[in-house]
Structure 1
Amino acid sequence: MGVAVFHLEGLSGAELTLDGPEGRHASVVRRIGPGERVRLTDGRGAWAEGPVTAASKTGVTVAVDDRGVVPAAEPRLVVVQALPKGERAELAVEMLTEVGVDVIVPWNADRSQFRANPERVAKTLAKWQAWAFEASKQSRRSWFAEVAPIATTAEVAGLLAGAALPVVLHEEAKVPLAAVDVPSEGDVVIVIGPEGGIAPAELTAFGVEPVRLGDTVLRTSTAGVAAAAALLARSRWT
């Protein structure tokens, strides 16, 4: 099992203090004590690692003996996830983060059944960001997954227009995902529709020939991670 990962903005210095919510989580919840190794990251590629030299209820002190910077991966993987209901939203965000998706874009699709009032939008976005933050640490990422603001269909169309590879999944598509060429750089944008499917007007707005994963129909919370893994296996995982 690898060392536990915690988020810390400033990583300069031979000795680092992890306090605040992250420090309390390390010392009180995880019960990490002197002698145990931890890794601290700013979530933007830089990391520092070393043994804990002191621990209290407010946090831990780490003596850094190793550090580095992980370059941003190419191509960048962006998944537009139609807003699912209930716990399936958390499942989708966690799995997309764990598999290595760089940016998750919540999408208020026609069939998402999401009431976009300001209070609910803010609460939903905060939840998605918290899930991605925790999943990034759990999967020991140096680059944390980013959750973008909730997007409209027009904004999703704009993302697709600027992508090096635009991918729109649809169960009735004729072209398989395996047939597309994966670029070595730029943005790969994958659009995952809601449980009720992508509406015809949305497909028209996207202006992209849709593709299918396979012969079975996946739930909205699992289709994204399956598509991301299929494309990562032909690019960053090779």
Structure 2
Amino acid sequence: MSSLYLVDGLADHAAGDLIALDGREAHHAAVNRVRTGEDVLLGDGRGTIADATVESVTGGGVVFHIGPLRSEERPRPELWLAQALAKGDRDELAVQAATEVGVSGVVPLQAARSVSRWSGPKLDKGVARWESIVREASKQAIRSWVPDVAPPTTPAALVDPRDHVLVLHPRATVRLADAVRSTPDDTRRIVLVVGPEGGFGAEEITAMAEAGATPVVLGDTVLRTSTAGPAAIAVANVVLGRW
């Protein structure tokens, strides 16, 4: 499989153009030991992908000869993951896997039982870390769209009437697959909400439900916070006919 490198402004180019890569992506190419004449893929992370051939490799960067370009629309409705902050790297593992299985965006969720807390300088650092994770996971999965990372929020502020918000809860009576099938045609996003290690508190579940969210059960077992989101996205992809 060809490697994917991200470059800004790709959609402004045409087949036959030369385009240079420097900085972080050039370093990535160097790590992959690209060679002149090698076929790769270029993307802008906003839906455009192009076949390309390595024209030259120098210490300062890599130059590519662009081949045919193609553009892919974002799927509708979009699938988003609202992932509660978790201890260690469990929330990061969830974001990485969610990106690989096709999520359109992720929301850092500060839940009452979240051990990890983002505040002050740590907030900006946390968002930047998630942005780096979705970028690298998108390249690994050869995705034309890099998922968005929304500003951190709380469960009470998460629900938007334009979205179909589904809160994973082990004692819910509605099955996730059934809830996805019932998504209204004019829905902007399906938002799958995953709590921290100890789950959401009763007040948080009540607040989200009163705002219009639907508690759903994924299956008969309780998954870790790092695996529940990606598993739910996989189920939704099958129900929506994307897999």
Which TM bucket (shorter chain)? over 0.9
Among residues 208, 220, 223, which one is paired with 1:215 in the alignment? 220
After superposition, the Cα gap between the structure-2 partners of 1:182 and 1:229, relative to the gap in structure 1 and judged at 3 Å, is farther
2: CA distance, partners of 1:35 / 1:168: 49
Please say if 1:138 is aligned against 2:161: no
Pairwise CA RMSD: 1.5
- Aligned residue number for residue 63 of structure 1: 65
Q: Which amino acid aligns with 1:211?
A: V
- Aligned residue number for residue 235 of structure 2: 230
- 1:75–1:236 Cα contact (<8 Å) kept: no
Please say if 1:35 is aligned against 2:14: no
2: CA distance, partners of 1:56 / 1:18: 11
User: What pairs with 1:79-98 in structure 2 (closer than 5 Å)?
Assistant: 79-98=81-100
Helix, strand or coil for the counterpart of 1:25?
Answer: helix
Give the number of equivalent residue pairs. Answer: 233
**Alignment TM-score, normalising by the size of structure 1:** 0.93
After superposition, the Cα gap between the structure-2 partners of 1:62 and 1:215, relative to the gap in structure 1 and judged at 3 Å, is same
2: CA distance, partners of 1:189 / 1:25: 32
2: CA distance, partners of 1:10 / 1:80: 29
Among residues 53, 56, 61, which one is paired with 2:55 in the alignment? 53
- Aligned residue number for residue 123 of structure 2: 121
User: What pairs with 1:140-159 in structure 2 (closer than 5 Å)?
Assistant: 140-157=142-159, 159=160
User: After the TM superposition, which segments of 4 or more aligned residues of structure 1 sit over 3 Å from their partners?
Assistant: 182-185
- 1:75–1:235 Cα contact (<8 Å) kept: no
- Aligned residue number for residue 20 of structure 2: 17
- 1:182–1:234 Cα contact (<8 Å) kept: no
Structure 2, gaps ≥5 residues long = none
Helix, strand or coil for the counterpart of 2:239?
Answer: coil
- 2:46–2:146 Cα contact (<8 Å) kept: yes
Q: Which amino acid aligns with 2:175?
A: P
Helix, strand or coil for the counterpart of 2:207?
Answer: helix
2: CA distance, partners of 1:162 / 1:206: 14
Helix, strand or coil for the counterpart of 1:67?
Answer: strand
**Alignment TM-score, normalising by the size of structure 2:** 0.91
- 1:24–1:58 Cα contact (<8 Å) kept: no
1: CA distance, partners of 2:154 / 2:177: 28
Offset of 1:182 from its aligned partner? 4.8
Helix, strand or coil for the counterpart of 1:222?
Answer: helix
Offset of 1:18 from its aligned partner? 1.1
- Aligned residue number for residue 178 of structure 1: 177
Helix, strand or coil for the counterpart of 1:111?
Answer: coil
- Aligned residue number for residue 5 of structure 2: 6
- 1:54–1:61 Cα contact (<8 Å) kept: yes
